[in-house]
A and B are shown apart, each in its own frame.
Chain A
Amino acid sequence: MSRNKTAGYKGPYGYQKRREGDGRSCVRYKCGLTNTIQDVLRQRPGWMEVKDDGEWDFNWCDVGWLRENFDHSYMEEHVRICHFRNHYELTRKNLMVKNLKRYRKTLEREAGRIEASKCDFFPRTFELPSEYHLFVEEFKRSPGSTWIMKPVARSQGKGIFLFQKLKDIMDWKKVTPCDKQTHTDTEQRDETQVESYVAQRYIENPYLISGRKFDLRVYVLVTSYIPLKAWLYRDGFARFSSTRFSLTSIDDQYVHLTNVAVQKTAPDYDPEKGCKWQMQQLRRYLTARHGTETIEALFKDVDNIFVRSLQSVQKVIINDKHCFELYGYDILLDQDLKPWLIEVNASPSLTASSQEDYEMKCCLLEDTLHIVDMEGRLTGREKRVGGYDLMWNDGPVYREDVNLETLGSACFTANTHLGCVNDRKKQLRQLLKPFPGKKRI
């Protein structure tokens, strides 16, 4: 869909409204990225790339393109784009915290303390410079605590540092004005002229495996905010820091930051080592160590994080039926097996770090496209598509079928399978009709 132009697919079927079962046999796509998604789109039967200003039905764009073009584009009903206009309400660290705090307050008012406490999955966070005084108060209340400073709009671990003394940020405040000029992220033009940071209470007791800290990367696909419809992918991974955890060297960012991008620059990084575990591996490890019930409870808490974080921005995000978004959630576990939300990424890295990683991301993206369903092969009533399980559909989704008979029973399990077996090929074979014009293999 090019700027200021209407577009519609007028093919052999004439003007086509998107109807159930009557999808497109030829999808024109635009792709702003040059990694795994390119391969996936190219290999999809019936999908053709359009260049430059050509009309498109599907756009996998980066957030920069979105910011510049979204408001000036008219999209036909069938057209799909991979971001929500103001996704940053969830993915910018300061806005995410602001929305969560507000949502929590609302919950407390409407449903009480206990319900609100279910939102206590993010560490104490303050936006700087606006909340500086509140931050100082909290800081002084917990002497000896460690805090982490993160720029709101940067990714891949850039600009992050740890501190334990207020003096450390005094120094930083003096230094930062010069650094601002080198910062090229133009996203902040939308919000404020001064680069914002958040100061967050550092989790000092992370769960360690063999002395190493790790965080979890989980994929959540949202196809609508109102009503909220979200899918959870079974695969994901745990990213390990390449060095052993210790609080004595908070300057060593390689210890604390588990981002693969940061780890890659560490002096002893060995690409042959691979610092990721598949989610299944992690889940099995934790189950072997702590038992099935404990870990099932843990993953239930993790589900809770996804749902509540999405609910907290439900009213703020501009809902648009053209939009879907694949989020990369970063979760950290502490030694009490409590999961913490670190951040949400609107553009999770799709570059592959290994053959295995490549295959996982291909499958993730293929299934994402299956759910977006340009081809109109789904009924809309599916609870599972490939490696995705429907987690929330304007309400919790359960594995069991909820009907009059089962309504009485107290036991419903959530329809999520994070870290469980992903037999997606088999499931897809049973679920999907072949692509239009293609015979079933």
Chain B
Amino acid sequence: MMDEGTELSLTIAQIVQRLKATHLHSQIERQAKECLHRPEIQLESLKEDVRNFLKASGWERKLQNAVYRELHVQPLPSHPAAPPEHAKEPLAYMRKAQVNWEKRILKSLNSMCTELGVPLARKRPAVEQKELTNKWNEMGTDEPDLSRFRPVYAPKDFLEVLISLRNPNHDSSEEASAKSHWGLIQVPLHDRDIPQMREAYSELSLTTGQLGIDDHTHVPPDLFESEHTGIGKKVVNEQDSAAAQQYSRQGCPTGLRADLWALILNSTNEPEDVMHYEQLKAGVIHHDLLVDNLIYKDVKLTASNDDYYFVFEDFLYQVLLCFSRDTAVLEHFSYNSATPPKSYIQGKVGVEEFAVVYPPNGVIPFHGFSMYVAPLCFLYNEPSKLYSVFREMYVRYFFRLHSVSSSTSGIVSLCLQFERLLQTHLPQLFYHLREIGAQPLRIAFKWMVRAFSGYLSTDQLLLLWDRILGYDSLEIVAVLAAAVFAFRAENLMEVTSLTSAEVSVPFTEATGRPRRPFNSEGHAPHSDLPVRHCHLRT
């Protein structure tokens, strides 16, 4: 292990290197040059004066925010002799599992491609380009025939992969006992227990005010809400990312949330961001990708059918189609255990010069992917801003929910955390559910993969995501999943099958999550998501 001093210098060097390439750097440089004309800048104290100017004019704060952002997306420091894949994922067996999973996905994608005779990418003819440009704001009106396309995979398939994970160095030959893990995830990862989490999440203690609880109508606002909102306004005025992140732990007021999240994520909407977005849009217009169809299908199946998010259908296309083409996203693969799929120009399979990352951003959407974006539409309605926020959220958090890794925010850890919490604190319930063939994870997995999007009402979801941002961790998602089971424990003790267990958890009634409408004959809502349609052809 390196000593702290070397580690720090290395980190600083890396950050400086990264920031040197940004627009912010040239802006600050220009500001520094221009301020030389100002009367308060004296030659004798040039350095000090320029520094003070930059501080007073808010540029130092912007730089601080940029550095803070870099710290979020830095790969973990590692031994100088460690190969780069260790930054992605230190454990070899996890890396292997991820690689195998990716092979399956890619095979599935390629065979869909061959079967349907649809190319992975094709240039649009001029007529089609013009049509798409005109229709850009209402792509939802298009009803292309998507029946032949299937989602490449659904969370259910991914769960099976996680269940089969084994650490080859772990001796699991012991007799099953009360001490052994009852859940589906059988890997020995470390996680925090309740007392440790209580310390870590101290702002969520019962004695601290929270938005979502202490701002209820019957609670006088001067007890918490007014002051908290006042502080929020100050944070926004100060434009301080770190303060915003800390603040968000107690929830963001509805009227300030959009600004606060943008601050935490350091998502700007400068001309260069808008231009970047416009370039991506141009990419969409010029080329049609096979994954576009997957995106269309996903939006139609999930967000468009959602009582809260159907309105935002057009935004979802505008964001997701551009996202697929954004090569800037490739950066995050340095700390993501996943590797972008490569495709080869026809006839040159295996020849590296003819390898192309596919899709350009390296992320293959799966069933439910659009639900990562949908709640954000509630906060931002300028496409470039919405895009900027979503992309940052993806490269910080969401990617961890569908890749195999040992990260504490990774889905494997979340699943394990969930199961351990249940086994420790609700052993009777866990045992009962196991006995009836209703492993709790099979119910909770889909909630966690989506960070509860589509399962909680929007206001509650946004409060949850406030805390994800505030604590820079997805751990709380696992705790919430366990809490839901605790909340419904009484009902769940009565159930006798997996299906009735699914129905007993609150996401169809009491918490206000709307169901799909029924038709006039009063028939029950449509059957569940057509997960049966999607299968991996191995």
A: residues with CB less than 8 A from B are: 209-212, 240, 243-244, 268, 271-277, 280-281, 284-285, 287-293, 295, 353-357, 417, 420-421, 423
A281 & B517 in contact (Cβ 8 Å cutoff): no
Residues of B within 8 A of A209 (CB): 311
Q: For the complex, is B458 an interface residue (Cβ under 8 Å from A)?
A: yes
For the complex, give the distance between the alpha carbons of A101 and B138 in Å. 40
For the complex, give the distance between the alpha carbons of A274 and B313 in Å. 13
Q: For the complex, is B396 an interface residue (Cβ under 8 Å from A)?
A: no
A284 & B216 in contact (Cβ 8 Å cutoff): no
Q: For the complex, is B305 an interface residue (Cβ under 8 Å from A)?
A: yes
A292 & B381 in contact (Cβ 8 Å cutoff): no
Return the contact of B517 from the options A240, A274, A289, A421 (Cβ within 8 A). A274
For the complex, give the distance between the alpha carbons of A422 and B517 in Å. 21
Contact A354-B517, Cβ < 8 Å, known A273-B310, A277-B308, A288-B378: yes
A292 & B253 in contact (Cβ 8 Å cutoff): yes
Q: For the complex, is B141 an interface residue (Cβ under 8 Å from A)?
A: yes
B377 & A210 in contact (Cβ 8 Å cutoff): yes
B308 & A210 in contact (Cβ 8 Å cutoff): no
For the complex, give the distance between the alpha carbons of A423 and B218 in Å. 10
A356 & B459 in contact (Cβ 8 Å cutoff): no
Contact A244-B514, Cβ < 8 Å, known A274-B310, A284-B459, A288-B379: no
14 A–B contacts, CB within 8 A, in A order: A209-B311, A210-B312, A211-B314, A272-B305, A272-B516, A274-B307, A284-B459, A288-B378, A288-B379, A290-B255, A292-B255, A354-B517, A355-B518, A421-B217
Contact A244-B381, Cβ < 8 Å, known A284-B254, A354-B517, A423-B217: no
A210 & B141 in contact (Cβ 8 Å cutoff): no
Contact A277-B311, Cβ < 8 Å, known A272-B517, A291-B255, A421-B216: yes
The 9 A-B pairs of least Cβ separation, nearest first, read A354-B517, A292-B255, A291-B255, A244-B138, A287-B254, A274-B307, A210-B311, A274-B517, A356-B514
Residues of A within 8 A of B515 (CB): 354-356
B217 & A273 in contact (Cβ 8 Å cutoff): no
B254 & A244 in contact (Cβ 8 Å cutoff): no
Q: For the complex, is B137 an interface residue (Cβ under 8 Å from A)?
A: yes
Return the contact of A281 from the options B216, B217, B218, B458 (Cβ within 8 A). B458
Q: For the complex, is B519 an interface residue (Cβ under 8 Å from A)?
A: yes
CB distance from A63 to the nearest CB of B (A): 23
Across the two chains, which residue of chain A brings its CB closest to B257? Answer: A288
Return the contact of B255 from the options A210, A287, A357 (Cβ within 8 A). A287
Contact A210-B307, Cβ < 8 Å, known A353-B517, A356-B515: no
Residues of B within 8 A of A244 (CB): 137-138, 141, 314
In residues 250-277 of chain B, which contact A (Cβ within 8 Å)? 253-255, 257-258
Residues of B within 8 A of A212 (CB): 311
For the complex, give the distance between the alpha carbons of A357 and B255 in Å. 27
CB distance from B313 to the nearest CB of A (A): 7
For the complex, give the distance between the alpha carbons of A347 and B214 in Å. 39
Additional 8 contacts, C-beta under 8 A, given A210-B312, A288-B254, A355-B525? A243-B141, A274-B307, A277-B311, A284-B378, A289-B381, A354-B516, A355-B515, A423-B218
Contact A272-B526, Cβ < 8 Å, known A210-B314, A243-B141, A356-B307: yes
Contact A273-B304, Cβ < 8 Å, known A284-B459, A292-B254, A355-B515: yes
A210 & B379 in contact (Cβ 8 Å cutoff): no
Residues of B within 8 A of A285 (CB): 378
CB distance from A22 to the nearest CB of B (A): 31
For the complex, give the distance between the alpha carbons of A289 and B258 in Å. 8
A420 & B381 in contact (Cβ 8 Å cutoff): no
Q: For the complex, is B315 an interface residue (Cβ under 8 Å from A)?
A: yes
B: residues with CB less than 8 A from A are: 137-138, 141, 143, 216-218, 229, 253-255, 257-258, 304-305, 307-308, 310-315, 377-379, 381, 458-459, 514-519, 525-526
B216 & A354 in contact (Cβ 8 Å cutoff): no
For the complex, give the distance between the alpha carbons of A292 and B225 in Å. 13
Residues of A within 8 A of B377 (CB): 210
Across the two chains, which residue of chain B brings its CB closest to A243? Answer: B141
CB distance from B534 to the nearest CB of A (A): 20
B517 & A357 in contact (Cβ 8 Å cutoff): yes
CB distance from B458 to the nearest CB of A (A): 7
Q: Name the residue in A209, A281, A295, A420 with the highest tally of chain B Cβ atoms < 10 Å from its Cβ.
A: A281
Residues of B within 8 A of A271 (CB): 517, 519
CB distance from B279 to the nearest CB of A (A): 23
CB distance from A385 to the nearest CB of B (A): 15
A288 & B311 in contact (Cβ 8 Å cutoff): no
For the complex, give the distance between the alpha carbons of A392 and B498 in Å. 52
Q: Name the residue in A212, A288, A354 with the highest tally of chain B Cβ atoms < 10 Å from its Cβ.
A: A288
For the complex, give the distance between the alpha carbons of A274 and B305 in Å. 8
Across the two chains, which residue of chain B brings its CB closest to A292? Answer: B255
Contact A273-B314, Cβ < 8 Å, known A288-B257, A292-B254, A356-B515: no
Q: Name the residue in B216, B255, B378, B381 with the highest tally of chain A Cβ atoms < 10 Å from its Cβ.
A: B255
Q: Name the residue in A295, A356, A357 with the highest tally of chain B Cβ atoms < 10 Å from its Cβ.
A: A356
Residues of B within 8 A of A423 (CB): 216-218
CB distance from A255 to the nearest CB of B (A): 11
Residues of A within 8 A of B518 (CB): 354-355
Residues of B within 8 A of A272 (CB): 305, 516-517, 526
For the complex, give the distance between the alpha carbons of A355 and B43 in Å. 74
CB distance from B249 to the nearest CB of A (A): 19
For the complex, give the distance between the alpha carbons of A420 and B314 in Å. 28
Residues of A within 8 A of B525 (CB): 355
For the complex, give the distance between the alpha carbons of A287 and B211 in Å. 15
Residues of B within 8 A of A243 (CB): 141
For the complex, give the distance between the alpha carbons of A287 and B215 in Å. 15
CB distance from B236 to the nearest CB of A (A): 11
Contact A284-B458, Cβ < 8 Å, known A354-B518, A421-B217: yes
A274 & B516 in contact (Cβ 8 Å cutoff): yes
Residues of A within 8 A of B258 (CB): 288-289
For the complex, give the distance between the alpha carbons of A212 and B377 in Å. 14
Residues of A within 8 A of B141 (CB): 243-244
Residues of A within 8 A of B313 (CB): 210
CB distance from B533 to the nearest CB of A (A): 17
Across the two chains, which residue of chain A brings its CB closest to B379? Answer: A288
CB distance from B527 to the nearest CB of A (A): 12
For the complex, give the distance between the alpha carbons of A392 and B519 in Å. 38
For the complex, give the distance between the alpha carbons of A285 and B378 in Å. 6
Residues of B within 8 A of A277 (CB): 307-308, 311
Residues of A within 8 A of B216 (CB): 421, 423
CB distance from B144 to the nearest CB of A (A): 14
For the complex, give the distance between the alpha carbons of A290 and B516 in Å. 29
CB distance from A246 to the nearest CB of B (A): 9
CB distance from B301 to the nearest CB of A (A): 11
CB distance from B318 to the nearest CB of A (A): 10
B516 & A210 in contact (Cβ 8 Å cutoff): no
Return the contact of A210 from the options B315, B459, B526 (Cβ within 8 A). B315
Residues of A within 8 A of B218 (CB): 423
Residues of B within 8 A of A292 (CB): 229, 253-255
CB distance from A400 to the nearest CB of B (A): 12
CB distance from B210 to the nearest CB of A (A): 16
For the complex, give the distance between the alpha carbons of A280 and B311 in Å. 15
Across the two chains, which residue of chain A brings its CB closest to B310? Answer: A273
A240 & B311 in contact (Cβ 8 Å cutoff): yes
CB distance from B507 to the nearest CB of A (A): 14
Contact A211-B517, Cβ < 8 Å, known A274-B307, A281-B308, A285-B378: no
Return the contact of A288 from the options B255, B314, B519 (Cβ within 8 A). B255
